[in-house]
Amino acid sequence: MKVSFAKLSRPASGAVAVGVSDGGKLGKTGQIIDRSTGGALWAAMKAAKHTGQSGKTLTVYAPPRSKLTKVVVIGLGKAKDMTAQSLEEAGAILYGALSKEARVTIVIDDIKNAAEDGGDLAAAIASGVVLKSYRFDKYRTTEKASAKPKLKSIAVSSNAFADARAAYKVREAVNAGVLLTRDLVSEPPNVLNPATFSDLAKGMAGDGLKVKEIGRKDMEKMGMGALLGVAQGSITEPKMIVFEWNGADKNDPTVAFVGKGVTFDSGGISLKPGAGMWDMKWDMGGAGVVTGLFKALAGRKAKVNAVGILGLVENMPDAKAQRPGDVVTSADGQTIEVLNTDAEGRLVLADALWYVQEHHKPDTIVDLATLTGAIIAALGEHYAGLFSNDDELSTQLQAAGQSVNERLWRMPVGPEYDKMINSPIADMKNLGGRYAGATTAAQFLQRFIRKGTAWAHLDIAGVTWSEGSTALAPKGGTGYGVRLLDRFVADQYES
């Protein structure tokens, strides 16, 4: 979608959206538009008792005495509560009211005592329109033209247009990462597999972003028995992708992001029930987020040294697939009794975590995975689970999530849970029992974190895909995690 910013003025024609703050008083430009319609906006607002309540819309079609086709009044709430987050959500609501228009002008009058800068607010409302307009319609061939949205261009009219352009440039790069992640989790598994995912990632190389592929032979040489055990039942060979972005001084710390990339998870020999198995196409959500994050970091030239690791496999029940009861050896030499082949994501992450520590020595690691159904039982679809060995890192991640409405809830780890994954025949087992499943999975991962490394594990199983629309996304892939981690980087490494 084309987005532009211009100096505040009255649109002469077409479809228009007008922001109004709590109290129902139109700004100067809104008043000019109202007068040009003979007071139609004010009359409609009065009749509908629209007083600028946050998120409330009112549509006036073909207002008299004007060449405007439609005016949508959007409530922005109280000035003291107006933030980039609230304006972004207002933009998403506007998209629902204006998606059938080809082009829209959004008028944002100066707002006294707003909680944030006018340029940030103008950029945010445009960002909300773009994020909500996402559609994955790559495979639709029979949809009628009348059913498709038409909005292709928005122009934001604001006195802070110069600042808005600069602010939106950053948002545009981050949004590109979000949309890429949504595309990845939406792709069917016969299209997105370890090989095609790897090819896509390699295609992102350039402009300072380095991308390296590691194949099966090299994994075997490095002793990645945990990851390879998951992959051995698939005809598609596993891949590991390494992103490197060096945007800061070479002596600055390195932060690593590691993503689980199981492009389809049948459960393996421990086969999942057939009902709902289709949604295991997005069991690569963690890798999708890391991919989107590095597109964002490179796109906005982030001043950080970052490494991203994707562990890409397919978990299938072939005759060669690993069995419940097998013992595998991870790259760092630890042995794992595989009690359930459907607890495979932690095996993939184990070797990926070893690799990034062995070859890049990051100070901080954040891993992401659609790891457990247990986290969905605990938190539903509103929070991701956060597990960490570092209080400061946890606080930083939670603050970043709160600021972009991608919320985290910290869950416990500790020695009492760690005992639950001890094996009678190996160093550990990949299943901790009936209870505390999300925590025992995190405890498993923590065994692969070296002393002195700050680590956080985000279990995003409940927030990667939504069966209903969210504030900024339609039904389907949410892109959850890209904005959170980008904000974390901005706050902790660039401020």
Categorize the per-residue pLDDT at 201 as very low, low, confident or very high, splitting at 50, 70 and 90: very high
Q: Domains of the chain, with CATH numbers?
A: 2-160 (3.40.220.10), 175-493 (3.40.630.10)
CA-nearest of 154, 168, 152 to 119 is 168
Predicted local distance difference test score (pLDDT) of residue 156: 98
The C-alpha atoms of residue 493 and residue 302 are separated, in whole angstroms, by 9
* Three-state secondary structure call for residue 214: strand
Categorize the per-residue pLDDT at 474 as very low, low, confident or very high, splitting at 50, 70 and 90: very high
* Mean pLDDT of all residues belonging to the chain: 97
Is 346 a known active-site residue? Answer: yes
Predicted local distance difference test score (pLDDT) of residue 434: 92
Cα 106 to Cα 60, 125, 135, 456: the distances in Å are 15, 9, 22, 40
By the 8 A CB rule, do 320 and 269 touch? no
Is 182 a known active-site residue? Answer: no
Over residues 287-299, mean pLDDT: 98
The C-alpha atoms of residue 393 and residue 364 are separated, in whole angstroms, by 8
Over residues 7-34, mean pLDDT: 95
Of 113-117, 347-351, 358-362, where does mean pLDDT reach its minimum? 113-117
Predicted local distance difference test score (pLDDT) of residue 85: 96
Categorize the per-residue pLDDT at 374 as very low, low, confident or very high, splitting at 50, 70 and 90: very high
Predicted local distance difference test score (pLDDT) of residue 430: 98
Cα 450 to Cα 251, 268, 332, 361, 428: the distances in Å are 21, 30, 11, 10, 17
Per-residue pLDDT of 214-267, as tens digits, reads 999 999 999 999 999 999 999 999 999 999 999 999 999 999 999 999 999 999
Per-residue pLDDT of 57-108, as tens digits, reads 999 999 999 999 999 999 999 999 999 999 999 999 999 999 999 999 999 9
Classify residue 147 as exposed, middle or buried by CB count within 10 Å of its CB (0-12, 13-18, 19+).
exposed
Predicted local distance difference test score (pLDDT) of residue 292: 98
The C-alpha atoms of residue 309 and residue 292 are separated, in whole angstroms, by 12
* Three-state secondary structure call for residue 230: helix
Categorize the per-residue pLDDT at 446 as very low, low, confident or very high, splitting at 50, 70 and 90: very high
Predicted local distance difference test score (pLDDT) of residue 7: 96
Per-residue pLDDT of 120-178, as tens digits, reads 999 999 999 999 999 999 999 999 999 999 999 999 999 999 999 999 999 999 999 99
CB burial of 3-40 (b: ≥16 within 10 Å; e: otherwise) equals: bebeebebbeeebbbbbbbbebebbebbbebbbbbeeb
Categorize the per-residue pLDDT at 184 as very low, low, confident or very high, splitting at 50, 70 and 90: very high
Q: Which of 25, 165, 216, 272 is catalytic?
A: 272
Q: Which segments of 37-160 does DSSP mark as H helices, in order?
A: 40-48, 84-98, 118-132
Q: Which of 346, 429, 483, 487 is catalytic?
A: 346
Classify residue 158 as exposed, middle or buried by CB count within 10 Å of its CB (0-12, 13-18, 19+).
buried
Tokens at 478, concatenated: 């949410």
What is the chain's Cα-based Rg? 25
Has this prediction a pTM greater than 0.95? yes
Length of the chain: 495
